[in-house]
Structure 1
C-alpha cells in the first residue's frame, strides 16, 4: 500500500490545529508509526475505500458480454428482501 521511502519524491504540506496534530500524533504513537507514516497510510486507506466505483476495469470479450447481459437482465424478485422492507424495523417508532 505505502510506497518504499526511496520512491517518495512528492511532498504534501498540511496546515492543522494544535489539537488535530496532537490527536494524530497520539494515534500514530499507538500504532507505533511516525506521524508522517500514520497520516500517509490512513489517507491512502481512505482514498482507496472511496475509489472502487471510479476505477476503470478491463474485461475480455466473453466476460464483457456476460457483464452487459447481467446489467440488461430484468431484476429478479427477492421475496425475503421484499418482506424485510414491509416488516417493522427496530428504528421505527413504537406504536
Structure 2
C-alpha cells in the first residue's frame, strides 16, 4: 500500500498504554515497526470503508435495471412530501 518514500506528513495519536502495547506486540509479530504496522492497518481499513463508496460492479442485467431506475420519472410520494413539509420536532421545542 505505502512505501517509506515520500512520507512528509505527520499524524499524532493519543492512546492508552494497553492499546499501544497491543499494537506493538502485533507489529513485532509481523516483524515491522509500530509506525509501519499502524499505517498499513489504518490504510487497509480506510480502503475497506471507502470501497463501496467509490465503485460497485453489476452484471449486464443488473446494470440495465440500475440505469432504468435512474432514468425513470420521479414518483409522487404524498406521505414523504407531507413529512418534509411539517415542522421538525426539534424546531418546535423551546431552549431549556
1:56 offset after TM fit, Å? 5.8
| Counterpart mapping for 1:1-95 below 5 A | 1-2=1-2, 4-55=3-54, 67=63, 69-71=64-66, 72=68
TM-score, L = length of structure 2? 0.59
Which structure's CA Rg is the greater one? 2
Matching residue of 1:91? none
CA distance, structure 2, for counterparts of residue 27 and residue 7 of structure 1: 25
RMSD over equivalenced CA pairs, Å: 2.2
How many residue pairs get aligned? The number is: 64
